[in-house]
């Protein structure tokens, strides 16, 4: 049996042509437990973030009587509770299927600056949904030294059902006073886009090189927002891992190293401008108590957006710490 738990701390800087703002936040990256039920059957249960909403956008809009400042804010996210199962169909072929429950809430606000007051529209969204996704993997050797792994995944479109609480407020000139003008609650359905992925890796006893392509049909997404369209997302990822030598008596030789790079377009297209998203990561795995546990340390840097056309550019740094504990049930005390 294997347990894994991880946390992260992230610092993000949001920059425009006129200003810059920095925010820090953190949370849980994953909480997993793996167990081998049969020689051909492995199973995992886990909890992990599914999606995150965090934005603060200032814009100018013309309502016919001059340009007005509008502020868009979003916070919250969705969490995934999943049960995954993998099966060795043959010596080289494996298949897997995951059943998951996605749940959470998101708060969105739109603030319009008027001459004598501000109008604020706030939407609180609560939703949940059960869903399935699947994958397949085929591994074969091309020589005694090299093995190739081909894989594919498919994640079905997810329709989350829930409720939306909408409230309209007016802030007066008196500081801190918010007057409620209207509120209502309605049943809603949101569509998270499906995605498919293809991957290939080449590995030796000590190293692994991998490449993945993922397509996500965001143009079919629907979050109940009028006059909002989304762009399909194409993502390319590349990675390298040095596995280390778990049987070595030298501690440094047992340390694993890894690095990665990804590039994708963002699902938002603002001011008729496509937003690029790219990032790099570096990490190492430090063995603890022999090989019964591993401390995984990772640093990731990511860049999203552009300063063109008055838009916002986001640069973020993230530090992640994961602890993996192996075979707790199998640990026995030795007596000499």
- CB proximity list for 144: less than 8 A, separation 6 or greater: none
Could you read off the pLDDT of 291-331 as tens digits, one per residue? 789 999 999 999 988 887 777 888 999 999 999 998 655 44
| Rounded distance between C-alpha atoms, residue 234 and residue 212, angstroms | 11
Closest CA to 113 of 166, 158, 162, 72: 72
Domain 2-326, CATH number (from 3.40.190.10, 2.40.50.140, 2.40.160.60, 3.30.360.10): 2.40.160.60
Beta bridge partners of 77: 52, 105
Instruction: Provide the residue count of the chain.
Output: 336
Could you read off the pLDDT of 233-260 as tens digits, one per residue? 999 999 999 999 988 889 999 999 999 9
Which string of b and e fits 76-86 if b means at least 16 CB within 10 Å? bebbbbbebeb
CB 94 within 8 A of CB 87: yes
What's phi and psi for 21, nearest 5 deg? Answer: -140, 140
- CB proximity list for 48: less than 8 A, separation 6 or greater: 28, 29, 30, 31, 32, 79, 80, 82
Beta bridge partners of 270: 273
What's phi and psi for 39, nearest 5 deg? Answer: -55, -25
| Rounded distance between C-alpha atoms, residue 237 and residue 200, angstroms | 11
For tokens 């400042």, the residue is 69
Q: Residues in the chain with pLDDT < 50?
A: 330-336
The structural domains of the chain, with segments of one domain joined by +, span 2-326
The pLDDT value given to residue 130: 84
The pLDDT value given to residue 172: 62
| Rounded distance between C-alpha atoms, residue 153 and residue 84, angstroms | 13
Other C-beta atoms lying within 10 Å of the C-beta of residue 317: 14
CB 9 within 8 A of CB 23: no
Residue 80 tokens read as 């995934």
The pLDDT value given to residue 335: 36
| Rounded distance between C-alpha atoms, residue 302 and residue 290, angstroms | 34
The pLDDT value given to residue 326: 81
- How many Cα atoms within 13 Å fall on the side-chain side of residue 266? 18
CB 322 within 8 A of CB 288: no
| Rounded distance between C-alpha atoms, residue 8 and residue 300, angstroms | 10
Give strand ranges (E) for the chain: 2-15, 20-38, 41-62, 67-88, 93-113, 118-141, 147-155, 158-171, 178-192, 195-203, 207-216, 233-242, 256-270, 273-288, 293-305, 313-326
What's phi and psi for 252, nearest 5 deg? Answer: -60, -30
- How many Cα atoms within 13 Å fall on the side-chain side of residue 21? 9
Q: Is 309 helix (H, G, I), strand (E, B) or coil?
A: helix
């Amino acid at each position: 049996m294997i347990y894994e738990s991880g946390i992260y701390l992230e610092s993000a800087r949001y920059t425009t042509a006129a200003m810059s703002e920095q925010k820090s936040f953190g949370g849980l990256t994953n909480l997993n437990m793996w167990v081998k039920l049969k020689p051909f059957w492995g199973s995992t249960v886990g909890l992990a973030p599914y999606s995150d909403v965090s934005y603060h956008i200032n814009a100018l809009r013309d309502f016919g009587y001059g340009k007005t400042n509008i502020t868009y804010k979003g916070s919250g996210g969705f969490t995934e509770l999943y049960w995954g199962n993998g099966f060795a169909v043959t010596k080289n072929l494996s298949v897997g299927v995951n059943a998951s429950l996605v749940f959470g809430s998101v708060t969105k606000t739109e603030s319009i600056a008027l001459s004598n007051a501000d109008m604020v529209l706030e939407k609180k969204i609560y939703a949940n949904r059960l869903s399935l996704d699947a994958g397949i993997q085929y591994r074969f050797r091309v020589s005694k030294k090299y093995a190739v792994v081909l894989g594919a995944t498919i994640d079905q479109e997810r329709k989350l059902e829930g409720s939306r609480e909408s409230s309209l407020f007016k802030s007066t000139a008196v500081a801190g006073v918010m007057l409620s003008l209207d509120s209502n609650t309605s049943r809603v359905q949101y569509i998270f886009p499906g995605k498919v992925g293809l991957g290939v890796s080449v590995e030796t006893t000590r190293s692994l090189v991998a490449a993945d392509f993922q397509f996500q049909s965001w143009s079919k997404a629907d979050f109940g927002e009028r006059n909002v369209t989304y762009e399909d997302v194409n993502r390319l990822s590349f990675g390298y891992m040095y596995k280390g030598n778990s049987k070595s008596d030298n501690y440094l030789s047992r340390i694993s190293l890894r690095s990665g790079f990804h590039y994708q377009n963002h699902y938002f297209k603002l001011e008729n401008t496509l937003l690029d998203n790219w990032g790099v990561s570096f990490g190492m795995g430090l063995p603890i108590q022999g090989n019964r546990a591993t401390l995984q340390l990772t640093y990731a840097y990511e860049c999203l957006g552009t300063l063109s056309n008055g838009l916002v550019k986001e640069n973020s740094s993230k530090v992640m710490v994961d602890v993996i504990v192996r075979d707790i049930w199998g640990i026995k005390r030795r007596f000499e």
